């Protein structure tokens, strides 16, 4: 099999994070800095910890199979609506203990956010003070492009990547402004603030500067024909959307199990309590709608009710997120699943996942950046379907359906990596 030519990961990789002072961002950055100092292990990171079996039967770490960027070559920066440096922001987030933050305190203090491109109408529960002044969305894009260029030059970076780890924007449907690159650029120049979100400005700026863009929230952003067109034109990978961290991760494991066993499902009720800034934003119905659409799409796709109407033709699926400040970042998710088996007899499954939202999301964020940078060096542009493994609502075009089954997604990751080194999958089940 002919292998894909992948360029070496030479020089520094600049990672610019939108919402660099957020809980997920500061947790990811602290963990990465701690790992390269040898004071913590990057647990949860596929790129750093996972292995893969090769054709000859040998098992090797993924990072030894393909040329991923070395953690020592990463430089972090980004934008935030609050001016706190990464250390102050991490202390405020209260995800990590002070003793863990102090291991890399000076490096965190050196990460100071650039003013963010922000529009209060897209996240009404947030009142940012550290924001850009731009007359139009197009001017907003130009300022962000300059930020990317300045950071790249100041930090002597060979390559850049931009990661959205900020809050969920309000829900908007796909509209004419999103259907072509020309229509999107026209809307930006005419300052159509109802159709063009701040996240679209970040995505456009990143692609324009040749930097892979990763959407870590369920925003309508890069999953538009305009962005597909632009990313192909600029030969830049795009991926997303919405980090698959807690409750949805469980769904993509449990739902394939029910389907594989041909067990029926009559109802699936999911609820969460969450107290961090993300929970506060999602307390607004307009923002929650964006998250709800992302979460609801998962099991319908896995179950294929049109193919198995007797088993999944009438599943009642409900998702709730409740803002509950005392929990902060320690989210609690409950799932009640009503299933039925032989002769239609009912059974129930209860799942109570007391997870740490940012602890689960941080390695996903890092992996998406490292693999997107790898894809860029492999000449892969447009939607990175193989990165669906990391996303709640995997991006896809109008001709394809997303894959939600976690195990199918994992096979896609491994097959893509095998393609890069010119290997076939082992003949036995992998």
pLDDT in tens, 100-111: 999 999 999 999
Instruction: For residue 16, list its beta bridge partners.
Output: 77, 162
CB 157 within 8 A of CB 14: yes
Residues of the chain with CATH 3.40.50.720: 12-243+358-421
Neighbour order of strands in the sheet with 346-354: 316-323, 264-274, 332-340, 346-354
Token output for 44: 């949860």
247-354 fold: Dihydrodipicolinate Reductase; domain 2 (3.30.360)
Instruction: For residue 267, list its beta bridge partners.
Output: 316, 338
Burial class (CB in 10 A: 0-12, 13-18, 19+), 412: middle
pLDDT digits (tens, 9 = 90+) for 396-418: 888 888 999 999 999 999 999 99
Burial class (CB in 10 A: 0-12, 13-18, 19+), 40: middle
SS3 of 159-228: EEEEEECCCCCCCCCCCHHHCCHHHHHHHHHCCCCCCCCHHHHHHHHHHHCCCCEEECCCCCCCCCHHHH
- What percentage of the chain reaches a pLDDT higher than 70? 98
Measured CA to CA, the distance from residue 67 to residue 34 in angstroms comes to: 22
Q: Indicate whether 347 pLDDT > 70.
A: yes
Cα torsion 131, 133, 134, 139: sign? negative
**CA atoms within 13 A of residue 423's CA, in its CB half-sphere:** 19
pLDDT digits (tens, 9 = 90+) for 296-327: 778 888 999 999 999 999 999 999 989 999 98
Which string of DSSP letters, residue by residue, matches 307-376? T-HHHHTT-EEEEEEEE-GGGTT--EEEEEEEEE-GGG-EEEEEEEEE--HHHHHHHHHHHHHHHHHHHH
CB 389 within 8 A of CB 413: yes
User: In terms of Cα–Cα distance, which of 292, 253, 286, 289 is closest to 270?
Assistant: 292
pLDDT digits (tens, 9 = 90+) for 105-161: 999 999 999 999 999 999 988 888 999 999 999 999 999 999 999 999 999 999 999
CB 296 within 8 A of CB 247: no
Residue 121, φ and ψ in degrees, nearest 5: -65, -20
H helical segments located in 236-340: 247-260, 277-282, 285-303, 309-312
CB 279 within 8 A of CB 349: no
Token output for 28: 């990811």
Average pLDDT over residues 243-268: 94
Q: Indicate whether 366 pLDDT > 80.
A: yes
- Cβ atoms within 10 Å, residue 264: 21
pLDDT digits (tens, 9 = 90+) for 31-85: 999 999 999 999 999 999 999 998 888 999 999 999 999 999 999 999 999 999 9
Token output for 315: 């599943």
Residues of the chain with CATH 3.30.360.10: 247-354
Which string of DSSP letters, residue by residue, matches 112-149? -PEEB---GGGSTT---SSB---SSHHHHHHHHHHHHH
Place of tokens 């796909």: 174
DSSP 426: P
Measured CA to CA, the distance from residue 358 to residue 327 in angstroms comes to: 13
Q: Computed over its alpha carbons, how large is the radius of gyration of the chain?
A: 21
**CA atoms within 13 A of residue 393's CA, in its CB half-sphere:** 19
Q: Does 12-243+358-421 carry CATH code 3.40.50.720?
A: yes
pTM: 0.94
Q: How far apart are the first and last CA of the chain?
A: 18
pLDDT digits (tens, 9 = 90+) for 168-216: 999 999 999 999 999 999 999 999 999 999 999 999 999 999 999 999 9
Q: In the chain, count of helices (H) and strands (E)? A: 16, 13
């Amino acid at each position: 099999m002919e292998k894909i030519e992948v360029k070496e990961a030479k020089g520094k990789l600049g990672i610019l994070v939108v919402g660099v002072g957020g809980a997920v961002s500061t947790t990811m950055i602290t963990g990465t800095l701690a790992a390269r100092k040898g004071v913590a292990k990057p647990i949860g990171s596929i790129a750093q910890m996972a292995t893969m079996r090769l054709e000859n039967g040998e098992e090797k770490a993924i990072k030894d199979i393909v040329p991923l960027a070395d953690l020592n070559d990463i430089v972090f920066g980004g934008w935030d609506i609050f001016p706190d440096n990464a250390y102050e922001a991490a202390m405020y987030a209260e995800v990590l203990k002070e003793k863990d933050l102090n291991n890399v305190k000076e490096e965190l203090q050196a990460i100071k956010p650039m003013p963010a491109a922000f529009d209060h109408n897209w996240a009404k529960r947030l009142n940012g003070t550290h924001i850009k002044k731009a007359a139009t969305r197009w001017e907003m894009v130009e300022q962000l492009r300059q930020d990317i260029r300045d950071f790249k030059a100041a930090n002597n970076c060979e390559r850049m990547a931009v990661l959205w780890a900020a809050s969920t924007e309000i829900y908007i449907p796909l509209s004419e402004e999103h259907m072509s690159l020309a229509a999107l650029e026209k809307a930006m120049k005419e300052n159509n603030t109802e159709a063009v979100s701040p996240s679209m400005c970040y995505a456009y700026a990143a692609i324009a500067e040749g930097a892979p863009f990763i959407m870590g929230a369920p925003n309508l952003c890069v999953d538009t024909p305009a962005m597909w067109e632009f990313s192909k034109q600029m030969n830049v990978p795009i991926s997303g959307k919405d980090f698959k961290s807690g409750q949805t991760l469980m769904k993509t494991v449990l739902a394939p199990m029910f389907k594989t066993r041909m067990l029926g499902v009559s109802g699936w009720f999911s609820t969460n309590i969450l107290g961090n800034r993300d929970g506060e934003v999602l307390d607004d119905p307009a923002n929650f709608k964006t998250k709800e659409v992302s979460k609801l799409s998962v099991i319908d796709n896995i179950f294929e009710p049109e193919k198995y109407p007797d088993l999944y033709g009438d599943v009642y699926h409900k998702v709730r997120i409740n803002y509950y400040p005392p929990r902060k970042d320690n989210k609690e998710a409950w799932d009640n699943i009503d299933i039925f088996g032989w002769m239609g007899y009912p059974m129930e499954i209860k799942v109570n996942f007391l997870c740490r939202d940012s602890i689960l999301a941080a390695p996903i964020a890092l992996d998406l950046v490292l693999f997107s940078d790898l894809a860029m060096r492999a000449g892969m542009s447009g939607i990175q379907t193989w990165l669906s493994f990391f996303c709640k609502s995997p991006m896809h075009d109008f001709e394809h359906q997303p894959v939600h089954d976690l195990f199918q997604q994992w096979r896609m990751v491994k097959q893509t990596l095998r393609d890069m080194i010119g290997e076939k999958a082992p003949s036995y089940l992998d």
